[in-house]
Structure 1
Amino acid sequence: MGCFQSTLGPSKQPLNHANGGNGGSAAVGDGVSPGFSEFSLAELKTATDNFSSKSIVSEGGEKAPNVVYRGRLQNRRLIAVKKFSKLAWPDPKQFAEEAKGVGRLRHKKVANLIGYCCDGDERLLVAEFMPNDTLAKHLFHWENQTPEWAMRLRVALYIAEALEYCSIEGRPLYHDLNAYRVLFDENGDPRLSCFGLMKNSRDGKSYSTNLAYTPPEYLRNGRVTPESVIFSFGTVLLDLLSGKHIPPSHALDMIRGKNILVLMDSHLEGNFSGEEATAVFNLASQCLQYEPRERPSVKDLVTTLALLQNKADVPSYLMLGIPKPEDVPPTPPQPLSPMGDACSRLDLTAIHQILVSTHYKDDEGTNELSFQEWTQQMRDILEARKRGDLAFRDKDFKTAIDCYSQFIDVGTMVSPTVYARRSLCYLFSDQPDAALRDAMQAQCVYPDWSTAFYMQSVALSKLDMHKDAADMLNDAAQLEEKRQRSMKGS
C-alpha cells in the first residue's frame, strides 16, 4: 500500500514497498519517507536542460563514472540528479528497491534522497540540492576563506551523527566516504550525501577514489563493511586537520612521529586548540587502524566529537563565510483553511478542536466489514476507540494513546481518523517521530486525505525539517481545495 503523494512535481501513483523499514524518525513499516517519488525521464530532462554539460556539478565532470547534475523542478525546487552508466544496474527492480531503501531515510544532517527514475536503460537518483559546495571545495580549493577550526569540528560531528543515524536505520554501509561526499546546505550546515548510501553499481566497485585512501580490507576482498566506513571517516578527519588530501599511510607516519603541528593546516594560522587537535588526531589514528576490529564504533565517534564542540551558538554560515540565507517558506497556493492555518502556526490546541469537531466523518468507506466480523472482539475494540475518543476530548493524551493503540493493534478495522488523533496525541506528548509515523499511516489508509498531510507537516516542523514541512503543507492545502471543488461540482 502506498503511503504518500509526491510533493515534488506532477502527481505520481503512490509507491508500493514489499520490504518493511526499521521505523525511525520519518518512516513507517512498509513505506518510505514523505516527499519520495518516482520521476519520469522527461521530468528530469526538463529539470536539467536535457542533462546539459552546463548543469554538471560533480567535480569529476563528464568523465566521472556517475555524473551529478543540478536541476530545477516545475515547482521551482532545486535538485541534484545522479546519472548512472547504462550497465551499472541492468535490473530496474533491483535499482528501484535499493533506491527505495535509501529513500526511507530522513535526517536534517543528510542530503536526503527524494526520488529515482528507471526508464529504459536510464538509472537516476534525485536528491535535495545543497547550494554551498562540498567540503573538498572549501578545504582544498577555497577562494575567500578556509573553514575555521570550530567549523571543522562541527563538520566532523555532523557527519558522524549522520552515519550513526543511517546505521541505526539499518543502512550502516556508506560507499566511498570522502570530502566530496560532505555537502553544505543553504544555512551552511554540513550534510552527508545520500548518494554514498548506494553502491556505484549492482556488482561494481564501491570505491572510486585513489587506492591509497581505500580501506585495506576492501583491497583484500572487495567488500565494504561498517568498519570500512570508519576507516574512510578517518581520512575525512585527516582532510579537516591538514586542509590537504594526504594518504593515510603518510599521515600515520606523521602521527607516530608526533609531528602533529607539521600535519595541521597552515592556513588556520595557529587558531586552534592544541588539546582539541590532539584529540582529533588520536581519533583519526584509531579510525585508520589496519585491523577493522580495532577501529572505534560510530557511536564512539559521536561521543568523542560531541565533547570537542565550541561556538555552538554561532551559525554555520558565519563560520563558513557565506551570505546569510533568506529563510522564506513557499507561499501556499491559496489562503489556508482553518486547519491549514492552525498547522502552519503549529497551534496544537486549535488542531485538537478541529479534529474533535469533525469527529469521524472522513472515515466513510475505509472499512467494509462482513457480518461475521461483528464479534465480541469487534465490540471490544470499538469500546477501546470510544474510551480513546473520550480521553482525546478531555485532553488526556496518554490514555488516548493507550486506547487508540488497542484499537490499532488488533488490526480488524483501519481508521485514518484514529491515526490522525493519535498523531496529535504524540505531538502533545513531545514525540514527533511517532506522530509522523501515524500521520503517514493515515495517508496509507486514505491517500488523498488532506488531514494526513497536514499532520505530517506539523510533525516535520517539530523535527526541524522545515522545507519538507512547507512542501507538505502546500500539498495538504491543494488536496483540500481539490476536494472542496469536487464537492461543489457534485
Structure 2
Amino acid sequence: MATRCCRLSLCWWPAHFKSSMFEPDDIEKGSRDGDGDGDGVGFTEFSLDELRAATEGFSPDHIVSEHGQKAPNVVYLGRFFPADRDVAIKRFNKFAWPDARQFLEEAKAVGKLRSERLANLIGCCCEGDERLLVAEFMPHQTLAKHLFHWDTHSLSWAMRIRVALYLAQALEYCSTRGRALYHDLNAYRVLFDQNGNPRLSCFGLMKNSRDGKSYSTNLAFTPPEYLRTGRVIPESVVYSFGTLLLDLLSGKHIPPSHALDLIRGKNFRTLMDSCLEGHFSNADGAELVRLASRCLQYEPRDRPIIKSLVTSLGSLEKDAEVPSYTLMGIMNGSANSKQTLKLSHLGEACARMDLAAIHEILEKVGYKDDEGLANDLSFQVWTSQIQETLNSKKHGDNAFVAKDFATAIECYTQFIDMGTMISPTVLARRSVSYLMNGMVQEALEDAMQAQVVFPDWPTAYHLQATALLSLGMDSDAHDMIKTGTRLESKRSNRN
C-alpha cells in the first residue's frame, strides 16, 4: 500500500476534476441529515475546452431536460475522462450574466455549499461570453418525471413524504448558510441521485441574471408578492415549496388558487392522487394538506418558516430506515457491493470533504492514537533541542485549536524537521492544516507519511481519501475509505 501511495504523490492525474461528491459503492452513509459544510475545496474553474470535450462539442445528444421544455439555458450531460464521472453542465445564453465578475462570485459562493440534500455545484466556466455551471449529475431524473410522467408505478406516499422532508432540509441548510433565496422552485428542480435520494438542484441558488425572470411565465404558480414587486424574498420560497407539496399530494400540477378552494371546501378526495388511496392515514393526509395551505397564504408573514416545516415533516416520516431506492423501486447504486461498511464520524466527514468536522474530530481525539508510538524520552538524553521540539509541537497545537492553520503548519514543520520524535498525529494535523489552506498535494503527502509511520491507523487512510477527492482521484479515494473503515472495524472488534 505504501508503494502505491508514493506513486500517487506524483499526481499525474488531471487536477481539474475535483468533485466533492463521494458515493462509494459499498459504504453506507453514517447519517441521514447530510449537513456537510464545505470550504470550496471541491470547486474548480474549468476551461471551455474541457467542458466542450466532456459534452462532445455540446452535442444535442447530451442535452438533458431541466424544465421539461426548450429553455434559453441548456443543461448537458458531461463526462470527464479518465475520472469517468458524469456531471451536469448548464450553459447560459450569451446575454446571461454580462458581468463576468458577478457570475464568478455567485458561482463560488454557491460552490461553497456542500450537502447530501443538494445536487452540489462543483465548478464553473467563464470565458469570453460563455457562462457555464458544473454540478453533480443525478441519474434518476426529476420529481416531475416521477410525479407527472411515470411509466410503471407512481411515487409511494412514504417516498413523497421523504421528498418533502429532504427538500425542506435542503432549503434550511441553504438558509443557515446565507443562501435563503431560491429561484423558480418547482418539480423539475428536484432530482434523484444514484441511490434514489431526492436532492435540490444548486442552479436555482444563483441570483437572478439577465437571462430571465426568477419565476416561470405561468402566473398561476407565482408568489403574489413577486407579481407585485418583481423581487424574491425568503417567504416566496416557502410559497413555492407549498406548490410542490400540492404536486406531491395530487400527482398533478394544480394551480394554488384551485387547490385552496378544494381545501376550503374540504374536498380532499378531488385534491388527492387516486394512486395513494388507502396508503396513508387520514391524520397524515390532513397534516400535509394543512402544511401546504399554510405555505400558500397570500401574505408572506402568514407563512411558516422552513425550520418549522422540517420539524412537521419529520414527524410524518414513518419509514426513515427504509432506503430511498427501495421506496422508489429502483436498483441500488451500491447493489454490486459484497459488504456494507458503516462509516465512522471521521470517515463520513472525510468522504464528504467536511474540513470543519475533520478538524473538530482530530482536535477532540488529541494524541490518543500516538500512545505507544512516541519515542520513550526516558531513554534519551534531555537536551535543549528536545525542549525546543516539544515547544514547537505545543505552539502548533495551540494554533491548530485556534484555527490559525498557517501558524500550525509552520510550527508542526519545525517539529517534524527537527527529527527528534515521530508523531503520526502531528502529520495528520498538518495534513488538515494544508487542506484548510488549499495545499492539497502537501496534505496528501503528510497523510501518506502518517500511514508509513503507523500502517494500521485508519485516520491516515481517511485523510488520504479527502486529499484524493480534492484531486479528482475518486477511485483511489474510495479504496482509502474502504481500508480505513475496515481498520476501524477491526479495532472495534478487538475492543
TM-score by length of 1: 0.71
What amino acid does structure 1 have at the position aligned with 2:224?
Answer: P
Task: List aligned pairs for 1:227-376, cutoff 5 A.
Answer: 227-326=235-334, 352=369
What amino acid does structure 2 have at the position aligned with 1:92?
Answer: A
Cα deviations across residues 265-324 of structure 1 (Å, max 9, x unaligned)?
Answer: 011233112111111111111111111111111101101001110111211111111112
Cα deviations across residues 137-190 of structure 1 (Å, max 9, x unaligned)?
Answer: 000000111010011000000000011000111111111111100000000000
Aligned pair partner of 2:38 in 13, 16, 27: 27
Greater Cα offset, 453-462 or 138-147: 453-462
Distance 1:66 1:470, change over 3 A: closer
Give 1:61 shift: 6.4
* CA distance in 1 between partners of 2:143 and 2:234 (Å): 22
Does the residue aligned with 1:449 lie in a helix, a strand or coil? helix
Task: List aligned pairs for 1:45-56, cutoff 5 A.
Answer: 45-56=52-63
RMSD: 4.2
Kept in 1: contact 2:141–2:192 (CA 8 A): yes
Distance 1:449 1:55, change over 3 A: same
Greater Cα offset, 56-65 or 166-175: 56-65
* CA distance in 1 between partners of 2:403 and 2:138 (Å): 43
* CA distance in 2 between partners of 1:183 and 1:47 (Å): 21
Give 1:382 shift: 8.8
**Matching of residue 36 in structure 1 with residue 38 in structure 2:** no
Aligned pair partner of 1:10 in 14, 17, 34: 14
* CA distance in 2 between partners of 1:91 and 1:97 (Å): 10
The match for 1:130 is 138
Kept in 1: contact 2:182–2:205 (CA 8 A): yes
Task: List aligned pairs for 1:302-451, cutoff 5 A.
Answer: 302-326=310-334, 352=369, 385-387=392-394, 404-406=400-402, 408=404, 414=410, 421=425, 438=433, 440-441=435-436, 443-444=437-438, 448-451=442-445
Task: List aligned pairs for 1:190-205, cutoff 5 A.
Answer: 190-202=198-210, 204-205=212-213
Give 1:436 shift: 11
What amino acid does structure 2 have at the position aligned with 1:458?
Answer: H
What amino acid does structure 2 have at the position aligned with 1:58?
Answer: S
* CA distance in 2 between partners of 1:275 and 1:381 (Å): 69
Does the residue aligned with 2:404 lie in a helix, a strand or coil? helix
TM-score by length of 2: 0.70
Distance 1:163 1:272, change over 3 A: same
Distance 1:438 1:26, change over 3 A: farther
Distance 1:416 1:163, change over 3 A: farther
**Matching of residue 63 in structure 1 with residue 67 in structure 2:** no
Does the residue aligned with 2:291 lie in a helix, a strand or coil? helix
Aligned pair partner of 2:476 in 455, 469, 474: 474
Kept in 2: contact 1:67–1:84 (CA 8 A): yes
**Matching of residue 173 in structure 1 with residue 181 in structure 2:** yes
* CA distance in 1 between partners of 2:471 and 2:15 (Å): 18
* CA distance in 1 between partners of 2:72 and 2:120 (Å): 21
Distance 1:469 1:238, change over 3 A: farther
Does the residue aligned with 2:330 lie in a helix, a strand or coil? coil
Give 1:39 shift: 0.8
Give 1:202 shift: 4.7
Distance 1:10 1:404, change over 3 A: closer
Cα deviations across residues 394-441 of structure 1 (Å, max 9, x unaligned)?
Answer: xxxxxx6x67425838959745769x958968xxxxxxxxx9985631
Give 1:87 shift: 0.8
* CA distance in 2 between partners of 1:59 and 1:407 (Å): 41
Aligned pair partner of 1:78 in 83, 86, 111: 86
Distance 1:450 1:228, change over 3 A: same
* CA distance in 2 between partners of 1:224 and 1:460 (Å): 42
* CA distance in 1 between partners of 2:460 and 2:121 (Å): 18
What amino acid does structure 2 have at the position aligned with 1:27?
Answer: G
What amino acid does structure 2 have at the position aligned with 1:48?
Answer: T
The match for 1:392 is none
Does the residue aligned with 1:179 lie in a helix, a strand or coil? coil
Aligned pair partner of 2:127 in 106, 119, 130: 119
Matched positions, count: 401
Distance 1:234 1:62, change over 3 A: closer
Kept in 2: contact 1:286–1:296 (CA 8 A): yes
* CA distance in 2 between partners of 1:241 and 1:178 (Å): 14
* CA distance in 2 between partners of 1:185 and 1:127 (Å): 12
* CA distance in 1 between partners of 2:197 and 2:230 (Å): 33
The match for 1:104 is 112
Does the residue aligned with 1:157 lie in a helix, a strand or coil? helix
Greater Cα offset, 241-250 or 252-261: 252-261
Kept in 2: contact 1:415–1:445 (CA 8 A): no
**Matching of residue 160 in structure 1 with residue 168 in structure 2:** yes
The percentage of aligned residue pairs carrying the same residue is 53
Kept in 1: contact 2:405–2:434 (CA 8 A): no
Distance 1:436 1:128, change over 3 A: farther
Give 1:386 shift: 3.3
Give 1:233 shift: 0.4
* CA distance in 2 between partners of 1:326 and 1:313 (Å): 17
Kept in 2: contact 1:136–1:180 (CA 8 A): yes
* CA distance in 2 between partners of 1:259 and 1:224 (Å): 32
